[in-house]
Structure 1
């Protein structure tokens, strides 16, 4: 039931979504606001300067008002209550009481045009802010049986399309008031995509999937600014996996939209098995067989070939910066002889061979399958028991930290538990995930002041994406995705599969896991597309 409030304030939420707004002229001293979202109706008492006004139309925040006695016309901003005047309505009762109104653009722009259309008349009224009068535009019907005008709408700012009651369409150039007939199936207007208002484009962006955002910058140069806003804010990890190297295909699964995309790349035309090892900033490290190593950007098809190895032996691989950067360096880590020795290999663009550095570990170190994480200028490696090894590339030193104390007294067997290391909100975080999905996931934060692992019960406003090689933490698109840990396993069939995630809220996997329907890609890695490389 409507309630009349004794103030001039606007209803809560007005301006943030569409409302139905009605002014009652001299019949009542109130106006009505109907919210279709909440199905609520509110009334407000009108200020004196709005008494006796009728609403003719609106454009955005601006409503077009007319005084029923003086025929004075003006636009009123519902935000600032500022007014912009247009000429008073002519003394034509049909237009005063039954006209349809089309407004081309906001009245505070130079190309605003207001058109009044009346179904019982054979002319239109056209005017603009700053004009002294309304211009009559006669309508010539090309079909004598066309009947009366039925409706109208403005396309951008220059053309007005009118539909007659006999389905004949007329077009009016509002600058020159030239009327022409639109033939059936005729292409009437061709506009550049760059002329689409930027604020409308920004409204569309949140409704696009990431793959459509990837295509956005290629539509026209003028949309590069919109692409930039996507680059900064709307990027989340995709799970990349290789279904069959024979067909040069790779698949990407979008965890939020539950959609799978297929990319084809000649770089994946391989004679031997391909394995995904690491990803960073849109680049993926891949091995072919036991010798070839290369870095691929699947979106730009750029390939960087690394020196061949007699045999790929790295337990972990990572790189500093990104390709084309002057400080780009690739590092490979290999632990041997019971964890007492570590061989760290490096490669820089222009070098023909890997450079090997051998270190003796003060404490035996058995690495997890997770790659080293670059944190505050040093590479941190997570051991299978939860200990930390640190490589400083500038000092060329390797050290196994005495603290924090390991999470496990004895290292679990390979395959029983997966250990992940990543950076979360400026801290190092470890994730221990048992293969048995009935067991809970444990998350710890490394407190560098106390040199201890602190158990985390909540991820805050973040979401984790973990796999055996790469783990990522991001703030998600919507709050419903927070406090989740996504793992590289699918639930469901081919047409309706979803990625499984672990909720830190209820400490369970979702959707409900049935072992016989769980699928895990043989080789996969989480990766974040680097959108600016596509523009």
Structure 2
């Protein structure tokens, strides 16, 4: 009988285990499933979205099911006597987009404010009417500058300025809208979807509307600022309800938010704006605007009822940036085309007599003002106005 060692030696050699080889079949990017393609497009900003949809026909089709994930403000520019706008995306500083024709009377109107892609427009009054003090009714309408959808509002009687300190809000899904503004010696009027005419808001006390020079509307809350108080009203119901009031004495100049002070060898002016942040904090932004060679400076105060004076000065916005004329902040962290901890403002908002309108950024880190790169300054078309807006791109 063979020994175990000999038997082991005589046994056939062990075979290597079979290895399953799977051939890797290359796939074409144009054959991505539509669900995956949507996930890609929904994460792209406007510029990358525009590039991606031109890759091939299937990506072009996939892009129609999505919209750009835009989170940065654009600029809308208003050429003089033209029925169109010029749009500038800070991500693409070398390109200017031209809107389509926005109506025969668009050139005769002025943009009062913006909300997302919507513009609140008011017909301009004529110089002859100003000289004779015969102010006609003011005609106001809302228009989406991307889709050209238009909502005409009833005319109303007012002084030569029409609607001042206007507020515009629109629900993109239901198309519910609300317009609020001051008219006729600081009477607060409003118009919302379903109304037949403008309505005075009697629930707001006269102490609120007197000398009110700045309003912000956010999350169905109306913030009204005058030289004495900040008032907050809840507009979520049928009747506005008073929610909160706090003093701003000592922080606000006494004449409509403006004050002059010596600035050797010239004068500078202080302008106050109210801003509501993403988290709901209320800020007062004091802008010291020079008339000479000096540059802008800013002071920011945050409402804090736990402090003795209800306000504390802050020197940083963190990862947010302020759009001063819109009275809001936007998230700037990781967003190409917008600088965090900065204040975005327009020069033409402060003094209407300026011949040159400018878009500027004040960086709170460097304490310096930078003019937003503007390739349009070389255009032969004179510009009458400039505004910030947050485009909302709808599906095709």
User: Given the two structures, how large is their TM-score scaled by the length of structure 1?
Assistant: 0.52
2:82 counterpart of 1:238? no
The count of corresponding residues between Structure 1 and Structure 2 is 336
1 or 2, which has the higher strand percentage? Answer: 1
**Separation in 1, partners of 2:49, 2:323:** 17
Change (3 A) 1:292 1:452: same
Match of 2:274 in 1: 421
Cα offsets for 1:341-387 (capped at 9, x unmatched): x422222334332122345523773233x4x212453311233x474
2:212 counterpart of 1:362? no
**Separation in 2, partners of 1:518, 1:366:** 40
Contact 1:405 1:452 in 2 (8 A): no
Change (3 A) 1:406 1:331: same
2:212 match: secondary structure: coil
Match of 1:258 in 2: 93
**Separation in 1, partners of 2:58, 2:27:** 24
Change (3 A) 1:261 1:382: farther
Change (3 A) 1:214 1:505: farther
Match of 2:155 in 1: 308
Cα offsets for 1:439-464 (capped at 9, x unmatched): 41111211245472221111101122
Contact 2:321 2:339 in 1 (8 A): yes
2:67 counterpart of 1:205? no
Change (3 A) 1:245 1:427: same
Cα offsets for 1:273-294 (capped at 9, x unmatched): 3211122232111112242211
Aligned 1:33-112 pairs, distance under 5 A: 85-86=20-21, 112=24
Aligned 1:316-465 pairs, distance under 5 A: 316-322=165-171, 325=174, 327-334=176-183, 336=185, 342-358=186-202, 360-362=205-207, 365-368=210-213, 370=214, 372-375=215-218, 377-383=220-226, 385=227, 387-393=229-235, 394=237, 395-396=239-240, 401-411=245-255, 412-413=258-259, 416-424=269-277, 425-436=279-290, 438-450=295-307, 452-465=310-323
Runs of 4+ with deviation above 6 angstroms: 70-74, 191-197, 213-218, 517-520
Change (3 A) 1:406 1:380: farther
Residue 406 of structure 1 deviates from its aligned partner by 4.0
Contact 2:180 2:188 in 1 (8 A): yes
Greater relative contact order (Cα < 8 A, sep 6+): 2
Change (3 A) 1:324 1:438: same
Point out the structure with max Rg over C-alpha: 1
Match of 2:132 in 1: none
User: Given the two structures, how large is their TM-score scaled by the length of structure 2?
Assistant: 0.68
2:332 counterpart of 1:483? no
**Separation in 2, partners of 1:72, 1:243:** 77
**Separation in 2, partners of 1:331, 1:364:** 12
2:247 match: secondary structure: coil
2:76 match: secondary structure: strand
Aligned 1:261-272 pairs, distance under 5 A: 261-270=96-105
Give the RMSD, CA atoms, in angstroms: 4.5
**Separation in 2, partners of 1:334, 1:254:** 34
**Separation in 2, partners of 1:271, 1:375:** 28
